[in-house]
Amino acid sequence: MSSLDPPTETPGFNAATWPTQPTYSNLGEVRAHLLPSKACRTPTSGSSCTGPQHLPPPLPKKTLARALSLPTHRALSPSPTPAGQPPRPLLGSRSVDESQAGGDEARPACPPAELPFCSLDMELGLSLHDLHCPEAVHTVLAARQLEGLRAVHTRLQARFLGGRPGPCRPHHSFRLLDSLPCVKSGDTLYYRIVQVDKEAWHVLAAKVPKPGAKKPHPWGLELQASLPPHFNLQGLCGLVPEGALPEAPWIGPVVLAAEVPERTVAQWLVEAGAQRPPDFAWAVALMLLQLSRALEHLEARGATLTELRPENLLLVAPRGCAASGPQRLLLADFGRVYPRPSEALGAHALQLGRLLRTLLDRVPLATPLTAGLERLAAQLARVQPSATLTRGALQALLWGPGYELRGRGTSLGPWLRVRRALLVLHLAQRAAGGEVPGLEDWLCCEYLVEATEASMGGALELLWG
């Protein structure tokens, strides 16, 4: 790591981190609202408190944006959480700015409203007559559960996508953290650098093309620069100007990525294949689910990735999650993204099928999930579905409905309502124990919020039809 220290105006390496921005108010104003006025502290007969309240003039509220401390270099396989201790959320290596949090498409105009718990029955949509009607009670409860899951999903999404650094400005300066790349992908070397702004700094990744790498397609690079924030697509922040880092081991300007990768999927396969963990199939399914989310977004933009390679898929720890949990997958190889022909709806199906078979070759045990993934690999080659249908099939393999509920005559609505209720209970139990919802919880929540009987029926038809 470079011996250069961060600017003196910013917190040091061991500075405390804040998950949210603290707000500072006028304490005198707050105290005046809590204490009665002097004329009313000792009431006497006939006295009144109708006089004007003299309050100190309010001061403007300030919001203090704090930056996170520089991350320490950690091993690729972090130690698990000690037994008996709840997992602690680990923040990413960027300044915390919740105002920049956004969804995969756009940031909501305001945070989700809290669900009223101590509410009048009429506010809940229940009358005295409805309380004697089980169907009406079930309808209200199902609507409230869905509304609650939507709020949880929105808050988790804001946490995972929050703290995104803004674009580079001419007054920004840069410092190189390491003389060696932190990750080597198929075509790119990634170096950790610090972007320094007056009172804030961000740890970013410089994308340096490998010598002799294939020239990227400009259409895909322009598409990447124009995309809104997406959880599974690599975001860009601008360029490191030529000469801004005299000690850099590259020549010329390079692109800056918002997320610092920790490894590639190819490297993860080597490590996991040597350890052969029992939940390897589950980890494979979660990775493919995230990849299908990214490809679904490309297909919606009329784009296709012509070459899907594990060495060009990046992994990074999700912001605010335990390091031992599932990792965030980033599609970064936009140099091989081209306009998609209008007739090629399942343009990525064959590549996904080949990648899935490569991953399944390393699964140590035969499980129901493994059998489902093998079935999906065969269907990807035969049916060539879109990335949207593939994502739905992976969601069904992970969280249901199962094989036994297939068939056109089966109603999936009751199953969906039960699963939503169980997820609400699951999140409540974990929160009572001090656990923080993770990436898998968010993906499951996204599935149950968006799922319909038609979408689940299509997933079962693709898998077992």
Residue 129's pLDDT band, with cuts at 50, 70 and 90, is low
Residue given tokens 């949509």 in the structure block: 125
Above 70 in pLDDT, residue 45?
no
Over pLDDT 70: what percentage of the chain? 70
Above 80 in pLDDT, residue 308?
yes
Above 90 in pLDDT, residue 447?
yes
Residue 408's pLDDT band, with cuts at 50, 70 and 90, is low
**Residue 199: its pLDDT value, please?**
75
43 or 278: whose pLDDT is higher?
A: 278
SS3 content of the chain, % helix, strand, coil (to 5): 40, 10, 50
Which whole number is the average pLDDT over 340-354?
86
Tell me the pTM: 0.74
On average, the pLDDT of the chain sits at: 78
Q: Rounded CA gap, 311 and 189, in Å?
A: 12
393 or 34: whose pLDDT is higher?
A: 393
Which pair of structure tokens corresponds to residue 460? 């079962």
Above 60 in pLDDT, residue 456?
yes
**Residue 410: its pLDDT value, please?**
78
**Level-2 CATH architecture, domain 263-464:** Orthogonal Bundle (1.10)
Domain residue limits, the chain: 173-257, 263-464
**One-letter amino acid identity for 284?**
V
**Residue 93: its pLDDT value, please?**
34
**Residue 12: its pLDDT value, please?**
38
Which is it for the CA torsion 91, 92, 93, 95, positive or negative?
negative
Residue 72's pLDDT band, with cuts at 50, 70 and 90, is very low
DSSP secondary structure letter of residue 198: T
- The mean-pLDDT minimum among 53-62, 144-153, 424-433, 442-451 falls in 53-62
Which of 23-32, 78-87, 328-337 holds the top average pLDDT? 328-337
Which whole number is the average pLDDT over 122-146?
74
Q: In Å, what is the CA distance from 53 to each residue of 31, 38, 46, 50?
A: 13, 10, 19, 9
List of E strands, 246-336: 254-257, 263-264, 303-305, 313-316, 328-331
Above 70 in pLDDT, residue 146?
yes
Which pair of structure tokens corresponds to residue 284? 């494979």
254 or 276: whose pLDDT is higher?
A: 254
**Rounded to the nearest 5°, which phi and psi values hold at 189?**
-105, 130
266 or 123: whose pLDDT is higher?
A: 266
Question: What distance, in Å, lies between the first and last C-alpha atoms of the chain?
Answer: 55
Buried b (16+ CB within 10 A) or exposed e, 356-386: beebbeebeeeeebbebbebbbebbeeebbb
Which whole number is the average pLDDT over 391-420?
92
- Kindly report the number of other CB atoms within 10 A of residue 400's CB atom: 20
